[in-house]
Structure 1
Amino acid sequence: MDHYIDLKLLPDPEFPATQLMSALVAKLHRGLHDLRRTDVGISFPEVEAVEHGLGTRLRLHGPAAALDSLLALSWLNGMRDHLHLSERAPIPAQVQWRCVSRVQVDSNPERARRRLIKRHGISEDEARQRIPDSAGKRSDLPYVTLRSNGSGHSFRLFIRHGPLLASPSPGSFGAYGLSAQASIPWF
């Protein structure tokens, strides 16, 4: 993990930054999935400076060859007019490290009721009594809104930037560029 590339969203009068960031992460997910590499991580350097959301900057982290391979794919089609892509650069000499991971929040009581009905064969009324509308969990974590390629349903991908670390922790990254174990350089 020795290089990075910044993708900075440009202001757009038609689309809010949160919507553009969601579209960018969805496209990145497809690119990482197609590339089938586990050595590219992501972070959102502005996350602590913005009140809500992830900010307007997505940073890709990884070996130079992995980042070059990712950029050689056509995953940025349709987004190039909405962002500024930096040159690939080596990470600075003095950095801290942190894990950027997905947090799954079961915030949909209707989905939980459907699962309960299917698994236990109970009535809809009984499921509603067991899981009231107020049972949905809430999270203050920033997120992007994505659409499942399998079911077509929209979902929120909640993202946690873990505590700062003095040294890197090894591991691999998933198809969203996130990992609960592997750290990215933070600068």
Structure 2
Amino acid sequence: MDHYLDLQLLPDPEFAATYLMSALMSKLHRGLHDLRRDDIGISFPGVEGKGAGLGDRLRLHGSAQALDALLALNWLTGMRDHVRVGNLSTVPSGAQHRRVSRVQVDSNPERARRRLIKRHGLTEEQARERIPDNAAKRCNLPFTQLRSHSNDQTFRLFIQHGPLQASAQPGVFNSYGLSGTATVPWF
């Protein structure tokens, strides 16, 4: 992870930054999936405190070769009017590191009840007793709203920026550029 590339959302009177970031993340997911790469990570340098959005900047981290391969794929089709692509740059020396990962939250009690009925043969009433409507969990992490390509359902991808670390941790990244083990440079 010696290089990075910043993608800055441009202000748009018709679309909120959260909507544009969702569209950008969807395009990135498709690009990383098509490339079958697990060596490109992401971060959101403009992320604010808990409950706030992801900001207006997406930073891609990886080797120069990996980032060039992603750009050559032309995955930004349809977003060029909404994004300013920075120059491929070297990570500053002395940068700290942090893990940027997905946090999955089961916030839908109805779905949890259906799963309970299917897996354990309970009646709907028994499932409702075990999982009441007020059992929904709330998450204050920033998120982006995406649509699944496999089942066409929308979902929230909650993203957590872990604590700062002095050294990099190796690992692989998923097709969203997130990892439960690997870190990305933070500066």
Name the TM-score, length of structure 2 as normaliser: 0.96
1:124-173 residue CA offsets vs partner (Å, 9 max, x unmatched): 22222221111111111000011111111111111000000011111111
Which secondary structure does the structure 2 equivalent of 1:119 belong to? Answer: helix
Distance in 2 between the 1:129 and 1:50 partners?
Answer: 32
Distance in 1 between the 2:73 and 2:11 partners?
Answer: 25
Which segments of 5 or more consecutive residues in structure 2 lack a partner in the other structure? none
Q: Who is 2:8 aligned against?
A: 8
Q: 1:78 to 1:137 in 2, by over 3 A?
A: same
Distance in 1 between the 2:123 and 2:149 partners?
Answer: 30
Distance in 1 between the 2:127 and 2:14 partners?
Answer: 42
Q: Determine if contact 2:39/2:173 at 8 Å carries over to the other structure.
A: yes
Distance in 2 between the 1:185 and 1:41 partners?
Answer: 9
Moved segments of 4+, more than 6 Å:
none
Look up the equivalent residue of 1:73 and give its one-letter code.
Answer: L
- Matching of residues 128-139 of structure 1 within 5 Å: 128-139=128-139
CA RMSD of aligned residues (A): 1.3
Q: Who is 1:39 aligned against?
A: 39
Identity between Structure 1 and Structure 2 (%): 67
Q: 1:184 to 1:16 in 2, by over 3 A?
A: same
Distance in 2 between the 1:183 and 1:123 partners?
Answer: 45
Q: Who is 1:82 aligned against?
A: 82
Distance in 1 between the 2:127 and 2:169 partners?
Answer: 43
Q: Who is 1:96 aligned against?
A: 96
- Matching of residues 32-71 of structure 1 within 5 Å: 32-48=32-48, 52-71=52-71
Name the TM-score, length of structure 1 as normaliser: 0.96
Shift of 1:50: 8.8
Look up the equivalent residue of 2:101 and give its one-letter code.
Answer: S
Distance in 2 between the 1:6 and 1:31 partners?
Answer: 16
